[in-house]
Amino acid sequence: MSTHHITVTINGTTYEGDVEARTLLVHWIRDTLHLTGTHIGCDTTSCGACTILVDGKATKSCTMFAVQADGRQLMTVEGLEQDGTLHPLQEGFHQEHALQCGYCTPGMMMSGLALLQRNPNPTEQEIRVGISGNLCRCTGYVNIVKAIHYAAEKMQAAEQVPVSAGEGGE
């Protein structure tokens, strides 16, 4: 079994390591890097519990080899909270009771994040399509839809604040 040296940035931190070619990305993240917020539910790219962002795109990390992540920017659920402030998605999931057992939640939030990054103001139907690759057995999705709406509104409001305060621009 060939091994490969990889360098991957996850949530802004650079990780390096030697991995077997067959090592699944989700196993490397969880078992080697101990970022256990990303879960495994089906092994067939069906349930989405392992969803992370790879270069900004929602990706099921059970169906990607660790070696394929070499040189790329990853984001996992652990990267949502910034400087002790919850991400609007995390806040929305809590406020709208969009989680029960919590197992699908990280993947669901990462799919929600990918959706909001390409569509900041989605309709209910667009949200349902956006999370259709993520299975939840507890919530019946109604409150997950509400939580993503909550985050969309909060993120849009936050974007407007600096502009109105005259601090816009990059």
Partner 1 sequence: MATEVHTHGLGEAYKRKEDARFIRGQGNYVDDVQLPGMLYGDIVRSPYAHALIKSVDTSEALKVPGVLAVITGKDLDAAGLAWMPTLSADTEAVLALDRVHYQMQEVAFVVATSRYAAADGVAAVDVEYEPLPVVVDPKKALEPDAPLLRPDKKDKQPTNQIYHWETGERAATDAAFAEAEANGVVVSQEMYIPRIHPAPIETCGCVADFHKATGKLTVWMTSQAPHAHRTLFAIVAGLPEHRIRIISPDVGGGFGNKVPIYPGYVCAVVASITTGKPVKWIEDRTENLCSTGFARDYHIKAEIAADKEGTVNALRVYTLADHGAFDAAAQPTKFPAGLFHICTGSYDFKHAFVEVDAVHTNKAPGGIAYRCSFRVTEASYMIERAMDTLARQVGKDPAQLRLQNFIKPEAFPYRSALNWTYDSGNYETALKLAMKNVDYEGLRREQAEKRARGELMGIGISSFTEIVGAGPGKHFDIAGIQMFDSCEIRVHPTGKILARIGVQTQGQGHETTFAQIIAAELGMSPDDVDVEHGDTDTAPYGLGTYASRSTPVAGAATAVAARKVRDKAKKIAAYLLEVGEEDLEWEPGRFYVKGTPAKGKTIQELAFAAYTNCPPYLEPGLEAVDYYDPPNLTYPFGSYICVVDIDRGTGLVHIRRFMAVDDCGTIINPMVVEGQIHGGLTQGLAPALYEELSYDEDGNVLGSNFQDYLIPTAMETPHWETDKTVTPSPHHPIGAKGVGESPTVGAPQAIVNAVVDALAHVGVRHIDIPITPWKVWSILKEKGLAAD
Q: Is 109 in the site for partner 1 (CB under 8 A)?
A: yes
- Report the candidate in 143, 144, 89, 91 with the shortest Cα–Cα distance to residue 120: 89
The structure tokens listed for 2 are: 């060939």
- Which of 2, 14, 44, 164 is the binder for partner 1 (CB under 8 A)? 44
One-letter amino acid of 114: A
Question: b/e string for 72-96 if b means 16 or more Cβ within 10 A?
Answer: bebbbbbbbeeeeeebbbbbbbeeb
Q: Is 134 in the site for partner 1 (CB under 8 A)?
A: yes
Span 71-90, contacts to partner 1 by CB under 8 A? 76-78, 80-81, 86, 90
- Which of 9, 135, 153, 154 is the binder for partner 1 (CB under 8 A)? 135
- Which of 64, 93, 116, 122 is the binder for partner 1 (CB under 8 A)? 93
Other beta carbons within 10 angstroms of residue 97's beta carbon come to 13
What is the DSSP secondary structure assignment for residue 137, as one 8-state letter?
Answer: S
Give the shortest CB-85-to-partner 1 separation in angstroms.
12
Residues lying near partner 1 in the complex (CB under 8 A): 20, 22-23, 27, 30-31, 34-44, 46-47, 49, 76-78, 80-81, 86, 90, 93-95, 97, 99-106, 109, 124, 127-129, 131-145
